[in-house]
Amino acid sequence: MDSLSGLALGFGNALTFANLGWALLGCFLGTAVGVLPGIGPALTIALLLPITFSVNATGAFILFCGVFYGAMYGGSTTSILLNTPGESGSIITALEGAKMARNGRAGPALATAAIGSFVAGTVGTLGIAFIGPVIVEWALVLGPAEYFALMVLCFVTVSAVLGASALRGLTSLAFGLMLGLVGVDLQTGQPRLTFGVPELLDGVNVVLVAVALFAVGEALHMAWRHHGGKQEVLEVGRLMLSKQDLRRSFWPWIRGAGLGFPFGVLPAGGTEMPTMLSYYAERRLAKPEYAKEFGTTGAIEGVAGPEAANNAAAAGVLVPMLTLGLPTSATAAIMLSAFQSYGINPGPLLFTQQAELVWTLIASLFIANVMLVVLNLPLVGLWVRILKIPVQQLYAGILVFATIGTYGISNSVIDLVILYTLGVVAMFMRRFDFPVAPVVIGMILGPMAEQALRQALTISQGDWSVFVTRPGSAIILGLAVLALAGPRLYGAIARRA
């Protein structure tokens, strides 16, 4: 079946009253779990798994896909309004988004995130429908050596988020790398930095750390620095995008989507790397008159690009799942187990043996995407009202949600101890101007880079030249050198001329 007739069949199936209902329910649930800090789509779908006993396969998967896409939309909301990313893919969005909200531009930030998510979701879903099976074959060519090279490239771009003081930024990054080491080492099975606490053997959850550093840290810092008496309410400016905002957002959306989708398809890609690379690219490419907004008043490009990259990567994650049956993310793994409870074995033959289900699923992704942008744009007006809540009540509420969310997910007191310990650390980091984003980035990239390096060296029997003799790895490392030295060389040449 070719893609177009497949899509036609899929839309025919998806546009029934019941299936549209499942899609709407999924979008609504997904947006809600995306907004709540700590609860992600993987857990939500896992908790919904028992419905597979009573609902047909098409309905269940439409619901799950709605949750998955919805969570990607919702995740940016709290990042922008409250500087508290609910999932790791929207950490970068918080960098510029929260600054825009502080400066009365919460509306345009939310709008560019929503429309960017729509653009990227559409690009990503088109990618799944038309080039998925081809691009996944290319993705398989990349091995651990190439992944390590990609991590090196990401580490170079991290410099863009280190903040004003490189020493403080690097300190934060090192703290994140250390947190990433906690747990049983994958390659040797040895526990590291666990201090005999069994709860630490699986490592520290990245989302937990993000909630602790951003939400709890921010709330505690507010409480500490708050001077009684005056009620602080942030100003809310215009809600929609101006013509200028639209012009400034357009190319970042496209670039973000183009960058995000292939990373999502990579078996060890994920949503974090493309958001970092997109942020770096937008910061470098910004027009001189807007470049000064980065890190100060908040640049809209820094929201539009990463948010589009995040959503396109999320769509890309579905490609290896649907075309090869490979679960490359937690959410995809849970969806695969749902396939199995219908007696469907996902694999390379899924597209041919279950063509109707797969195409209905892809069609419902398009539908969910439209539903979400229709659902989320009017919500912008509602969301920004959150900022009208006096900060004391607002942050007290955030603390309650973060605490309930953390304990509710894991039933673990240790997680609560980590939440508040890191929250206090983050409070002091804010007080002494240490940026918190590099902590989370170090924690995500560090273990990935370490494992990729050691996997590559095990395969090459300890031969380090593998990183330059494999063409893919050599090209990516070359790009990293260019990103590191290029601007300086260019500057030196420009000065001499």
Using CB under 8 A, list all residues that contact other proteins: 42-43, 45-47, 49-50, 53, 139-144, 184-191, 198-199, 201-202, 267-268, 320, 324-329, 332-334, 337, 340-350, 353, 410-412, 451, 455, 458-459, 461
Q: Pick from 118, 122, 113: which is nearest to 93 by CA?
A: 113
Phi then psi for residue 192, to 5 deg, are -130, 135
Q: Tell me the C-alpha to C-alpha distance, in Å, between residue 103 and each of 41, 129, 287, 387, 399.
A: 31, 40, 20, 12, 24
Q: Which is nearer to other proteins, 56 or 341 (CB)?
A: 341
How near is the Cβ of 336 to other proteins at its closest, in Å?
9
* Run of H or E residues at 490: helix 471-496
Q: What is residue 281's DSSP assignment?
A: H
How near is the Cβ of 461 to other proteins at its closest, in Å?
6
Q: Pick from 383, 116, 91: which is nearest to 236 by CA?
A: 383
Q: Which is nearer to other proteins, 258 or 267 (CB)?
A: 267
Q: Which is nearer to other proteins, 389 or 409 (CB)?
A: 409
Q: Tell me the C-alpha to C-alpha distance, in Å, between residue 209 and each of 83, 140, 272, 320.
A: 14, 31, 15, 28
Q: Which is nearer to other proteins, 161 or 324 (CB)?
A: 324
Q: Which is nearer to other proteins, 132 or 320 (CB)?
A: 320
Q: Which is nearer to other proteins, 83 or 328 (CB)?
A: 328
Q: Which is nearer to other proteins, 142 or 156 (CB)?
A: 142
One-letter amino acid identity for 338?
Answer: A
- Three-class secondary structure assignment of 286-317: CCHHHHCCCCCCCCCHHHHHHHHHHHHHHHHH
How near is the Cβ of 201 to other proteins at its closest, in Å?
4
* C-alpha–C-alpha distance, residues 305 and 321, integer Å: 25
How many helices (H) does the chain have, and how many strands (E)? 23, 2
Q: Which is nearer to other proteins, 94 or 142 (CB)?
A: 142
User: Across 70-151, where does the E strand assignment appear?
Assistant: none
> Quick check: 272 and 221 in contact, CB under 8 A?
no
Q: Where are the alpha helices (DSSP H) in 182-300?
A: 206-210, 217-225, 243-265, 272-285, 288-291
Direct distance between the N- and C-terminal alpha carbons of the chain, in angstroms, rounded to an integer: 59
* C-alpha–C-alpha distance, residues 271 and 91, integer Å: 10
Q: Tell me the C-alpha to C-alpha distance, in Å, between residue 363 and each of 2, 283, 360, 370, 439.
A: 14, 35, 5, 11, 39
How near is the Cβ of 66 to other proteins at its closest, in Å?
18
How near is the Cβ of 354 to other proteins at its closest, in Å?
9
Q: Which is nearer to other proteins, 461 or 465 (CB)?
A: 461
Q: Which is nearer to other proteins, 254 or 336 (CB)?
A: 336
